[in-house]
Amino acid sequence: MTLYLVVVAGAVVAGFVQGLSGFAFGLVAMSFWVWAVDPKVAAALTVFGGLLGQLIAAFSVRRGFKWNQLLPFVLGGITGIPVGVWLLPLVDAHTFKIGLGVILLIWCPAMLFAQRIPKISFGGRLADGVVGLAGGVLGGFGGFTGVIPTLWCVLRGFPREEQRAIIQNFNLAMLIVIMGTYIAAGLVTKATLPLFAIVAPAMLIPTFLGTRMYKGISDLRFRQIVLGLLTASGLMMLTSGLWAVAKA
């Protein structure tokens, strides 16, 4: 019973956050699920929930996009996904969470409280592709496709609508590929299907509510929400990683 309650709570909160921000389902859900769900099962649930949330957002918050702008992210991401899936059983997940958590906790608050964030204009499409590659690796490893690309879009100085379009469509493409990869790799089993059936209805209404709230916020508020979520996610990842190491 405790397992099911934790899964529902994670899906509800993560669904709302993803609807509002366009990303972060995995980061938020994992902060709940890490305490009660097996890591491999949690990874599959994260990808499933993130994909479902992106499908909902695709119909409720429709955003056009430029193919030439999105393509480097997607190509890089597709290249990185198999690497992340390969690393999943090899890399210690707790060490990974501690490292990523520290980076987010240092960088995101600095950007959040800075009056002016210097924009990154170098690198062009090649840099975008490398960022997509990093997103693909993190996505294959645990469904965290949006973390690095979202941070990059903020650093690029993209306006809210453009950032949402890139992240929403990038995440949708990546999660479709990752889910197929997980199924092919045997990470989606009969034991996970009942949990999928719990996650889907639990996140449905919260995701719609999040998308409705998104439509009423300004560019500045959206940037503050995104950086705040990344900071909170870093704290959650660091805490769960340290807790697991301390228990070991």
pLDDT tens across 149-185, in order?
888 888 888 887 888 888 888 988 888 988 888 888 8
pLDDT at res. 133: 95
Domain boundaries, the chain: 2-247
Using CA atoms, how far residue 12 sits from 29, 44, 83, 104, in Å, is 9, 17, 30, 24
Residue 120 confidence (pLDDT): 79
- Report how far residue 163's alpha carbon sits from residue 154's, in angstroms, rounded to the nearest whole number: 8
Q: Which residues of the chain have pLDDT under 50?
A: none
DSSP state of 114: -
Classify residue 199 by burial, with Cβ atoms within 10 Å: 0-12, 13-18, 19+.
buried
- Give pLDDT, residue 1: 65
pLDDT value of residue 248: 66
Q: For tokens 């950007």, what's the residue?
A: 111
The residue type found at 210 is G
What's the pLDDT at 65?
62
* 95-105 confidence digits (pLDDT tens): 777 877 887 78
